[in-house]
Each structure stands twice: as C-alpha cells, then as structure tokens.
Structure 1
Amino acid sequence: MEYPILGTEPLPVEFANTLYGDFDCLGTPALAAGWFAEMGLGVADAGRARELRDAVRQALSHEADAGAVDVLNAFAAEAPSVLRLEGDRKARWVSTTDSVLGRIATCAIELLVDGVVPRRCGAPDCGLMFVAQHARRRFCHPTCSGRVRQARYYRRQLEEQA
C-alpha cells in the first residue's frame, strides 16, 4: 500500500494528510496500522486516530472550534513525559510511554503556537497540506507542480493549433 506521505513535513501535517481525497489512511485498523508503521510510529487505535486527525485538520486549517481544541488538549494530556538530564548537562523532556496520538497532538499544539500556517497544494487534483518554507511555494511536491506545468503546456499547444 502506498500512503500519501510527503516525508518533508512536520508530523501533525503528515497526520492531517491521512485523509487524501476519498482515501482515508485511517479508515480501517489495517490501513491505520500500515500508516503508523510506514511513519515509524507505534500502534494506535484507528477510531481514536481518526478523531484526533479531524481535530488536527480543523486546527491547522484555522477553522478550529472549541471542540477541536478540547480534543487536541485531551490527546496531548495522554503524552506524559519526564525531564531527563543528559550527559552534556542539558535537560530534555522524554516520553515515559509510547502514546503516539498524544505525541502527535502535542506536536500539533506546538506548531499552532509557533504560528506555522500550512497551505493546501495548488494542484487541482491534490489538496495535501504542506508547510511552505518559501513564500512562493504553491505545491506540496515537485510531481504536483510538474503535472500543473504539463497541463498548462498542453492547453497552450491546443490553443495554438486551433
């Protein structure tokens, strides 16, 4: 199974992209397990993952209502962590359990707090979210921009022949 994973985006954006057109990567337990395995994450319940995914999509598209915020906060509370001292005398937070959905919710909250605004791909047949590192970026992946350029080229060729 090939999942719509860009591989360059923050985890919450990749997670939001699990709903790709009519294809739901979390639609069945087998699909969800495959997506989480492909991403190198632990196992998560497909139903709960869909609930979190919907809240993350809403929050990242700036249409978050109080319900979506509550869902994000509830899942983030499931990611307990402890402060651990490292060898270089620096501390970092480390998860004490493998609560995958809690980590995704926490990452989504961090993205929102940092002011990251994901965009939708400009290709008419795509719609994946991505974080634009450059203000002029319009497509999630070079293949999408290639398809749009190719379609524009063919339209021009047809107009010239007419």
Structure 2
Amino acid sequence: MEYPILGTEPLPVEFANTLYGGVDCLSTPELAAGWFAEMALAAPAPEAARALRDAVHGLLDARSKGLPLDEAQVETVNAHAAAAPTALRLEPAGDGWESRWAETATGPAAVLGRIATCAVELLAGGAPLRRCAAPDCGVLFVPQHARRRFCHPTCSGRTRQARYHRRRTEDPA
C-alpha cells in the first residue's frame, strides 16, 4: 500500500493523515505495521494507535477549520503524552544547537508518547493547519507560506491540469 506520507510535515500531521478520504491506513495490524515501518518507528498495538490517531486527527481538523478543540480528544492526547518515556534534549549541531527527542525507553509507548507530545507542541504553538485544496485529496498540512493551498506539487499539478482540460472542452473555439 502507498501511505499518505508527505515527508515534509510534522510527525503528528503525518500520523493524522493515516485517515483521509475514507481510507484508514491503521485499520489492520499489517497496515499499521507498514505505516510505522515507513516512518522508521516501532509499531504499537493498532487499537492504541487508532485511538491516538483519531484524537490527533480530530484536533488538527478542528484547528484547520477554526473550531474549538474537543475536550475528550485533548484528554486522550494528554494521556498518551503523559505516558511518554521521552525527553526533549538540546544537543550540539555544527556551529549551533538543535533540539532532539531522546527516548528514555523504547517501544510502542515511547512512539505514541512522542507523537502525542509533538501534537501538543504543534497545537499549542499555533501553527496554521490546512486541508489540501485538491478536490480528490483533503490531506492535512502545515503551510510554509500564506498562499500555499495544496499538500504536494502533484495535487497542484492535477488541479491545474483538470482546470485546463475543462477550459479546452468547454470552449471548443
């Protein structure tokens, strides 16, 4: 299966995008294991992953629409974040410094905890979230500039191509 991994988005956004367009990339243990393997993460139990994903997806979707956040979903994310055996560390990087997640334990709890913690940071940081403007997509993304409307250049290209084709067929002159 080809997973909806953009490779440019924060981890919680990539995780939320495992549910889009009626497709659930965590619906079976095999699909869930495949997605986590693609992301180079240890695969947790699919039920726990889906519970966190549904909460993260709901919160990011609400933020993208300017709606208030659901308290039950916030509690789910907070519970996973509280169980996270991870720590954010400051480490040297070239001439400067960078933050890097260090797992004080490994395994599924650490993976879901890190995703939940990153979701908390993303939501609290006020980063803008959008849905792709392509009619057949709808993937969530964090725009790097105010005019960005598509999750990926392929969605933009397909939309432009469809618009060109419509103009050519509607105006045969």
Relative to the length of structure 2, the TM-score reads 0.85
- Kept in 2: contact 1:60–1:112 (CA 8 A): yes
Partner of 2:9: 9
1:81 Cα offset (Å): 3.4
| 1:66 pairs with 2:77 | no
Partner of 1:126: 137
Partner of 2:117: 106
Partner of 2:85: 80
| C-alpha spacing 1:66/1:27, structure 2 compared with 1 (3 Å) | same
- Kept in 1: contact 2:86–2:114 (CA 8 A): no
Q: Percent identity at matched positions?
A: 66
1:82 Cα offset (Å): 5.2
- 1:9-158 alignment runs, 5 A limit: 9-61=9-61, 62=63, 63=67, 64-81=69-86, 94-98=102-106, 99-158=110-169
1:135 Cα offset (Å): 0.4
| C-alpha spacing 1:87/1:155, structure 2 compared with 1 (3 Å) | closer
Q: How many residues end up aligned between the 2 structures?
A: 161
Distance 2:58 2:85 in 1: 24
| C-alpha spacing 1:13/1:160, structure 2 compared with 1 (3 Å) | same
- Kept in 2: contact 1:60–1:117 (CA 8 A): no
1:85 Cα offset (Å): 8.2
- Kept in 1: contact 2:18–2:24 (CA 8 A): yes
Distance 2:37 2:31 in 1: 10
1:92 Cα offset (Å): 6.9
List gaps (5 residues or longer) in structure 2.
Answer: none
Distance 1:136 1:5 in 2: 22
